[in-house]
Amino acid sequence: MISALLALGLAAGAPFPLPPSPLPVQDTVKGKVVYEKWCAGCHGETGAGDGPAAAYMLPRPRNFTGAVYKIRTTASGQLPTDADLLRAIDEGLAGSAMPAWKGRLSDAERRDVLAYLKTFSSFFADTSQHVVALKFGGEPGGGTSAEALKVGRQFYDSIGCRKCHGDQGRGDGPSAPTLKDDAGFPIFAADLHQSWRFRGGATAADIYRRLRTGLDGTPMPSFSDLIDQKFLTDEQLWRLAQYVRSLSPARTPEVRDVIHAPRLAAALPAAPGDSVWDRVDRYWLPLVGQVIRKPRWFGPAVSGVWVQAVHDGKSVALRVSWDDRTRSPDTTWLGFERRVLETVAGDDSGGGRTAGPFPDQLAVQFPRRIPEGMERPYFLMGTETDAVYQWRWTSAGGSGAAGGAVGGLARGLERFDTLPGGPAAQTSYEHGEWRVMFTRSLATPDTANELQFAAGRAIPVAFFAWDGSSGEHGNRLAVSTWYFLALDQPTPPRVFVTPVVVMLLTLGLGIVVVRRVQRRQA
Amino acid sequence: MNWRRYADHPFWQAAALLVAAYVVIVYVVPLFPGSALVPKSVVLQYMATVLVGVLIYVSDNEERWIRFREPIHAALVEPRLRPVRAGLLVAVPALVGLVAYGQVRTTVAAPPNLRSIHPAPPSEITFRGKTITLTGLDNPLRQHPESSAAYAADGKRIYYQNCLPCHGDHLDGQGHYAPGFNPIPANFQDNGTIAQLTESFVFWRVAKGGPGLPREGTPWNSAMPRWEDFLTEREIWSVILFLYDQTGWKPRTWETAGEAGKRKGDD
């Protein structure tokens, strides 16, 4: 990082002539060895981004032969600097399969591999092109003030961000279903509510840089020319970057094991949009592709869910919110869905890879009863002999009293048997976000099959999500591992009494000791 | 030279030692590779142990013991130290109260996950209807050293098309799906996995996956697929060859692995 910054600073503003590369000597012969051992599996022997793993990930690995790079510090259409490439190698590209190689490969190995991957394109051989990083001013202060964000929002609308990224930034704009990159692969307009998945970094400065440089090879343009045309000032573009930053949590959400459900004295929330939910802690749980049972799925669309829960001693309410660009089933995304299915490998799918339109779905999974020991059913929807209790919701379920939700028993991925009297569900879909609120009484008559909730216990819980417009249905879904739901108990009085008693005892003991020592002294 | 008087004094030495121990346990230990935050209850235990050790040291020598007690005695009786005395009488009970509150407060934590990482393997398994004896078994592909490069290349392709999302580009268990699972995928670069296992053990784990684990391996949590549903026997041996080839580890051989059988007896 420091060397990258140094290199950037040197390349951008040094007053004296510099050697063409600010990095130490690079060895393409050694670089080839490193590349073939660690990089070719995804990027391919010839650098064409077509290694054996390439079809098992979305976004696809970079094709080095065209020398087109998304994350740069240089002007739109220009080659990246060495420091740009080294940053991607060192820190990886968040939200993709590219890991951070710093600490995995030595400094020399990373420099050598950088030199080697430049040999895949003749563009880098042309040394007459002088590649320099664009020079930017510093970030203006006050970036989180309401005023700054209002200015940012104004330009978000006026320069057309919403066309792809949508009104609230979840990548659900009207043009989103048409997007592909230069190679024809489907590309999602970034979900601006998940800054920790931004390839080029999550800070306002990173976002500003993307706005200035554009993402070459994708539909995301550079907005530098708008400054030149005096459509907006540099500061206003910074405000836009700060506004985009404000859409995500200030910090990358930490994954916590236990979802705590506070006990409410008042009534449970009546709807998924109830203001009660604003006061309840929310938990981010990551989801990943189902790659355990045939047919596997390497292109999961839902990267995680936000979960909140409350109870009142009689019933529990659980709200699951997640970002989804489409309110499926939605035929406007059929073309996009087809491109996703063509891009993501499915060698063992056994047919059935026709495009939808499928609905969006969610499953919340519990064991049938709270386990006494650590043993619990198999996390991936139980087994034939050890069923799990699930709440399942589908967007095609209509708007009846159940809101499209049912309760039932899953015995593995392939089998689900509905039980009578499932949970109540209420749903909202707004600007690329689903919110599904389940409500169920803690106790039910069917104690054999339905989980009986109890406060003060760690109740295993897992989540599964399907995005119909990404071709997800059946075994093609995103899965989580087991987490825990804990319904808070009313605090027993001893929690407050014990510390006071202990403090008084200690104080009394202290006074006795002091007195005795003083008396002896006298 | 006021500080030197303090530095030489057993009481302040003991106080400094306790503070240093606390800093090491709470802030330094988590920095070691492979270690985590020390749980509060364990910190309490460690600190109690350190305190006992310090007390043994200061009371070991009569003169030291008398000097150690001087500041304590002074704090209890000296009229000029009255504010210190009052401060201690407030601070110590408050601290004790806080610790007591932390102890009685009810929080629900995830149940401890006691998992045997390398449970004892069975002596034989059924692979797609064929019985394979694991005891004494080596990777059959190693009988053809002239073709090992080709086998490893096969294994590499299979790894990248199947194992990469979880076990990662660097084979260190940090693939892009790894954060979604618990337990996290095995790290083959670590000296505690394939480096100390026989290839037949690795074959068993790959072929039978999470669902094939014995109870002590918590089969209900593992996201490892049963690869016999996807890969042939030879493909699995190729990928195992690749794992050792790529990481540079050597498989444990049966001569040195005598205790694999012993371990089974122990469990």
Contact A41 B220 (CB under 8 A): no
ipTM given for this complex: 0.89
* Strand-strand pairing, A315-323 and A304-311: antiparallel
Contacts of A495 in chain B (CB under 8 A): 101, 104-106
Contact B165 A56 (CB under 8 A): yes
Range with the lowest mean pLDDT among A24-38, A286-300, A306-320, A355-369? A24-38
Position A481 scores a pLDDT of 97
A427, A278: one domain? yes
A353, A413: one domain? yes
Range with the lowest mean pLDDT among A4-18, A160-174, A296-310, B153-167? A4-18
Q: With respect to residue A262, please indicate whether it lies within any of the assigned structural domains.
A: yes
- The more confidently predicted of residues A156 and B116 is A156
pLDDT bucket at A399, cuts 50 / 70 / 90: low
Contacts of B104 in chain A (CB under 8 A): 494-495, 498-499
Residues A232-245: what's their mean pLDDT?
96
Position B99 scores a pLDDT of 86
Q: What rounded mean pLDDT belongs to chain A?
A: 91
Q: Is A376 on the interface with B (CB under 8 A)?
A: yes
Domain ranges of chain B: 2-104, 124-266
Domain's final residue, options A219, A246, A273: A246
Interface test with A, best of B73, B78, B92, B106 (most A CBs within 10 A): B106
Spatial strand order in the sheet of A424-430: A283-286, A304-311, A315-323, A433-441, A424-430
Contact B161 A52 (CB under 8 A): yes
Q: For residue B145, how many other CB atoms are within 10 A of its CB? A: 9
Contact B93 A298 (CB under 8 A): no
Contact B180 A374 (CB under 8 A): no
Position A355 scores a pLDDT of 72
pLDDT bucket at A404, cuts 50 / 70 / 90: confident
Among candidates A292, A456, A514 on the partner chain, residue whose Cβ is nearest the Cβ of B76: A514
Enumerate residues 6+ apart whose C-beta is below 8 A from A97. A42, A53, A57, A61, B164, B165, B169, B175, B176
Position A374 scores a pLDDT of 86
Residue A478, helix vs strand vs coil: strand
Position A400 scores a pLDDT of 57
Q: Is the pLDDT of residue A58 over 80?
A: yes
Position A2 scores a pLDDT of 46
Q: Is the pLDDT of residue A21 over 60?
A: no
Under DSSP, the state recorded for A493 is T
Angle at B217 between CA B216 and CA B220, to 5 degrees: 105
Contact B181 A257 (CB under 8 A): no
Q: Is A486 on the interface with B (CB under 8 A)?
A: yes
Contacts of A263 in chain B (CB under 8 A): none
Contact A378 B112 (CB under 8 A): no
pLDDT bucket at A126, cuts 50 / 70 / 90: confident
pLDDT bucket at A352, cuts 50 / 70 / 90: low
- Phi/psi of residue A426, nearest 5 degrees: -130, 140
The pLDDT tens digits of the residues spanning A180-197 come to 999 999 999 999 999 999
Contact A378 B220 (CB under 8 A): yes
A window 115-154, beta carbon within 8 A of B: none
Contact A53 B161 (CB under 8 A): yes
Among candidates A41, A258, A375 on the partner chain, residue whose Cβ is nearest the Cβ of B169: A41
Contact B225 A291 (CB under 8 A): yes
Q: With respect to residue A492, please indicate whether it lies within any of the assigned structural domains.
A: no
A361, A433: one domain? yes
Please give, rounded to a whole number of angstroms, the shortest distance from the CA of B255 to a CA of chain A.
31
Q: Is the pLDDT of residue B107 over 60?
A: yes
Position A15 scores a pLDDT of 42
Taking each helix axis from N to C end, the angle separating A82-91 and A107-118, rounded to the nearest 10 degrees, works out to: 130
- The more confidently predicted of residues A156 and B36 is A156
pTM of the model: 0.85
Contact indicator for A347, A375 with CB cutoff of 8 Å: no
Contacts of A477 in chain B (CB under 8 A): none
Residues B88-93: what's their mean pLDDT?
92
- Phi/psi of residue A253, nearest 5 degrees: -60, 135
Structural domain count, chain A: 4
C-alpha atoms less than 13 angstroms from C-alpha of A268 in its C-beta half-sphere: 22
Q: What rounded mean pLDDT belongs to chain B?
A: 90
Q: With respect to residue A137, please indicate whether it lies within any of the assigned structural domains.
A: no
Give all strands (DSSP E) within A442-482, no chain letters: 459-466, 478-479
Residues A419-430: what's their mean pLDDT?
92
- The more confidently predicted of residues A6 and B204 is B204
Reported as type and span, the H/E element at residue A163 is helix A161-165
Q: Give burial (CB, 10 Å; 0-12/13-18/19+) of B162.
A: buried
Position A522 scores a pLDDT of 75
Contact indicator for A479, A374 with CB cutoff of 8 Å: no
Q: Give burial (CB, 10 Å; 0-12/13-18/19+) of A329.
A: middle
Q: Is A33 on the interface with B (CB under 8 A)?
A: no
Domain's final residue, options A200, A218, A246: A246
Please write down the HEC assignment for all residues of A218-280: CCCCCCHHHHHCCCCCHHHHHHHHHHHHHCCCCCCCCCCCEEEECECCCCCCCCCCCHHHHHC
Q: With respect to residue A140, please indicate whether it lies within any of the assigned structural domains.
A: no
**Rounded Cα distance, B183 and B224, in Å:** 10
**Rounded Cα distance, A449 and A462, in Å:** 17
Q: Could you tell me which chain A residue has the CA closest to the CA of B75? A: A514
In the A/B pair of chains, how many CB contacts fall below 8 A? 163
**Rounded Cα distance, B81 and B83, in Å:** 6
A317, A422: one domain? yes
Q: What share of chain A is helix, strand, coil (3-state, %, to 5)?
A: 30, 15, 55
Among candidates A104, A287, A345 on the partner chain, residue whose Cβ is nearest the Cβ of B170: A104
A window 290-349, beta carbon within 8 A of B: 291-294, 298, 345, 347-348
Contact indicator for B46, B38 with CB cutoff of 8 Å: yes
Q: Could you tell me which chain B residue has the CA closest to the CA of A93? A: B176
Q: With respect to residue A171, please indicate whether it lies within any of the assigned structural domains.
A: yes
A278, A321: one domain? yes
Taking each helix axis from N to C end, the angle separating B62-77 and B40-59, rounded to the nearest 10 degrees, works out to: 110
A267, A404: one domain? yes
Residue A468, helix vs strand vs coil: helix
The pLDDT tens digits of the residues spanning A74-106 come to 999 999 999 999 999 999 999 999 999 999 999
* Residue carrying the six token digits 């970034």: A190
User: Mean pLDDT: which of A220-224, A468-472, B3-7 is highest?
Assistant: A220-224
Please give, rounded to a whole number of angstroms, the shortest distance from the CA of B6 to a CA of chain A.
24
Residue B252, helix vs strand vs coil: coil
A361, A213: one domain? no
Range with the lowest mean pLDDT among A278-287, A387-396, B78-87, B245-254? B78-87
Residue A428, helix vs strand vs coil: strand
- Rounded to an integer, what is the distance from CA B145 to the centroid of its chain? 36
Please give, rounded to a whole number of angstroms, the shortest distance from the CA of A257 to a CA of chain B.
7
Range with the lowest mean pLDDT among B28-42, B162-176, B216-230? B28-42
What's the CATH fold of domain B124-266?
Cytochrome Bc1 Complex; Chain D, domain 2 (1.10.760)
Q: Is the pLDDT of residue A319 over 60?
A: yes
Q: Is the pLDDT of residue A6 over 80?
A: no
Among candidates A479, A507, A514 on the partner chain, residue whose Cβ is nearest the Cβ of B93: A507
Range with the lowest mean pLDDT among A87-96, A102-111, B2-11, B165-174? B2-11
The Cα-based distances of A302 to A354, A467, B72 in angstroms read: 20, 7, 62
Please give, rounded to a whole number of angstroms, the shortest distance from the CA of B182 to a CA of chain A.
6
Q: What is the dihedral of CA A268, A272, A278, A283, to 10 degrees?
A: 100
**DSSP string spanning A498-521?**
HHHHHHHHHHHHHHHHHHHHHHHH
Q: Is A385 on the interface with B (CB under 8 A)?
A: no
A376, A341: one domain? yes
Position B1 scores a pLDDT of 53
A323, A432: one domain? yes
Among candidates A258, A507, A513 on the partner chain, residue whose Cβ is nearest the Cβ of B108: A258
Exposure string of A163-196, with b = 16+ CB inside 10 Å and e = fewer, is ebbbebbbbbbeebbebebeeebbbbbbbbbbbe
- The more confidently predicted of residues B220 and A357 is B220
Interface test with B, best of A514, A515, A520, A521 (most B CBs within 10 A): A514
Q: Is the pLDDT of residue A3 over 70?
A: no
Q: With respect to residue A151, please indicate whether it lies within any of the assigned structural domains.
A: yes
Residues A389-398: what's their mean pLDDT?
89
A353, A468: one domain? yes
In chain A, the percentage of residues whose pLDDT exceeds 90 is 80
- In chain A, count of helices (H) and strands (E)? 12, 14
Contact B85 A286 (CB under 8 A): no
Domain's final residue, options A214, A246, A278: A246
A355, A400: one domain? yes
Identity (one letter) of the amino acid at A15? P
pLDDT bucket at A25, cuts 50 / 70 / 90: low
Domain of A314 in residue numbering reads as: 258-487
- Reading the block at residue B186, the tokens are 């095995």
The Cα-based distances of A453 to A368, A369, A403, A443, A450 in angstroms read: 10, 8, 22, 6, 9
Q: What is the dihedral of CA B243, B246, B249, B255, to 10 degrees?
A: 50
Bridge partners of residue A364, in order along the sequence: A391, A463
Q: With respect to residue A26, please indicate whether it lies within any of the assigned structural domains.
A: yes
CATH code for the domain in which residue A93 is found = 1.10.760.10
Q: Is the pLDDT of residue A11 over 80?
A: no
